[in-house]
Amino acid sequence: MYDAGKILIGLVIFLLLLTFPFWFSLGQASYESPDLQLPEDKEECIEDTEWMRKNHMQLLDDWRDTVVREGKSIYIGKGGKKYDMSLQKTCMDCHTSKEEFCDKCHNTASVDPYCWDCHVAPEEVANGQQ
Amino acid sequence: MNALYALIMVLALVIIPLLGAGAAGWHVLFGVIVPYLAFIAFVLGFIYRVVLWGRSAVPFKIPTTAGQQQSFPWIRRSRIDNPSTRAGVVVRMILEVLLFRSLFRNARVRLFREGPQLSYGSSKFLWLGALAFHVSFFVILARHMRFFTEPVPVLFNWMETLDGIMQVGVPTLFATEIVILLALAYLLLRRLIDSKLRYISLPTDYFALFLLFAIVISGVLMRYFLRVDIVDIKTLSMGLIQLQPEVPDSVGVMFYTHLFLVCSLLVYFPWSKLMHLAGVFFSPTRNLPNDNRMRRHVNPWNYPVKVHTYEEWENEYRDKLKEAGIPVEKE
């Protein structure tokens, strides 16, 4: 083989990069899906859990536009129940802790939504963390 | 016609997971077994091809590269385009791999006014399209590392933030997704519209483009339109990485389609022209220094030649040469 040394070094670098996730996770505890803190006194969310998991970001975005641009603020959820379109007054009334609810999935999925550029997280504010 | 073959093959690849993971519900097969096999096939195929290339003969160095070679000191030489040192070669390789300098030289030939005049023009679109595609593809690949690492290294977070810096829509629109779609569309249309290119295009040329298109489109659909639960997907992907596969029920068929197409790409990759990923490092006109006049390059095909030098010949016939009055070098 010509330049065997150089070719093998290149190949090893490539394989190291390719298998990066494997050796990065070596010695780490096995991955667990995030365990969310659910509100104790409430039975159901405004929509199905499954639906909320996939679409909550779209819902919040729609809410913002509807409230800010159209001035409407009533959302009709599952079973015809009416809710106030408000992150802080509706969502975070039950899911009080940003850290124990929102952040857990957002961190693991490496998502950094800009909700809290403006909004405050009630529990963290109460504890003086923000 | 070639394009049609390729399109049909890619559509077949789309249908397989739709039926297998969607209708039949073979989630373990499409979520665990196929990805592992595809990854192994990719690694083994890649090593095989690289070793094969490494073992092939280099009969001579190719000095005819663009640029003045090293000559007399008063002739200005081109240190990067025609390097005679290893450092020059390294710079040339880096520029080639990262900036595609060879494509930057792409020229277009035209008959001027349908007449006998021939004109050459610079044509940078291929270079631009290729660069846009490759950079986007790399960023997209790096962004996907968020599914395979926990905690996600901050570097990947930054890439993601930078990519979605325009903050359009929810989830944030990534610029690379638009760029890669435009670049792929250009690379495909270029083959379809130009009759000369269409003539030399093979099904494999289109297949790679259609397959990449299908992967990007399935990914975009999954992110913006037919949503999936991303946290469940991470459970699946981390299970694969930590060799403890676990298949959540709620992962949709859209995800399996995306994954199967990526697996197809991995399997196809080592046996296709996509191996230019490794092949670019084996380009003889890029990676060999032009030092033919300083260092002897021995052709490996040379068999040992029995040489009879003049000196030996003279020694053999010195007496006879002298006798005949023919001048000799050594008395």
- DSSP annotation string for B175-198: HHHHHHHHHHHHHHHHHHH-HHHH
pLDDT of residue B53: 92
Residue B198 lies in a domain: yes
For A30-58, the pLDDT digits (tens) are 888 888 888 888 878 888 888 888 889 88
Q: Report the residue from B46, B170, B229 with minimal CB separation from A53.
A: B229
Helices and strands of chain B, counted as H and E runs:
15, 2
Residue B11 lies in a domain: yes
Enumerate the residues of chain A whose CB falls inside 8 A of the CB of residue B160: 110, 112
B231: part of which helix (H) or strand (E)? helix B230-241
For B219-274, the pLDDT digits (tens) are 999 998 888 888 899 999 999 999 988 888 878 889 999 999 999 999 999 999 99
Enumerate the residues of chain A whose CB falls inside 8 A of the CB of residue B50: 7, 10-11
How does residue A129 score in pLDDT terms, banded at 50, 70 and 90?
low
Residue B149 lies in a domain: yes
pLDDT of residue B272: 95
Q: Given CB atoms, is A118 within the 8 Å cutoff of chain B?
A: no
Q: Report whether B229 contacts B251 (CB < 8 A).
A: yes
Mutate to test the interface with B, among A31, A33, A57, A115 (most CBs of B within 10 A): A31
| Domain total in chain B | 1
In residues, how long is chain A? 130
Predicted-complex ipTM score: 0.88
Q: Given CB atoms, is A65 within the 8 Å cutoff of chain B?
A: no
More confident residue, B181 or B331: B181
The CATH number of the domain holding residue B174 is 1.20.950.20
Enumerate the residues of chain A whose CB falls inside 8 A of the CB of residue B145: 20-21
Q: Report whether B245 contacts B32 (CB < 8 A).
A: yes
pLDDT of residue B47: 96
Residue B165 lies in a domain: yes
Domain carrying residue B184: 2-301
pTM (2 d.p.): 0.88
The answer to whether the Cβ–Cβ distance between A33 and B232 falls below 8 Å is yes
Tell me how far the alpha carbon of residue B325 is from its chain's centroid.
68
| Closest chain A residue to B172, measured at CA | A113
Pairing, β B107-112 against β B117-122:
antiparallel
For B261-317, the pLDDT digits (tens) are 999 999 999 999 999 999 999 988 888 888 888 888 888 888 888 889 999 999 999
Q: How far is A124 from chain B (nearest CA, A)?
A: 23
Residue B18 lies in a domain: yes
What's at A51, amino acid-wise?
Answer: W
Residue B216 lies in a domain: yes
Q: Given CB atoms, is A114 within the 8 Å cutoff of chain B?
A: yes
- Using DSSP, state whether B249 is helix, strand or coil: coil
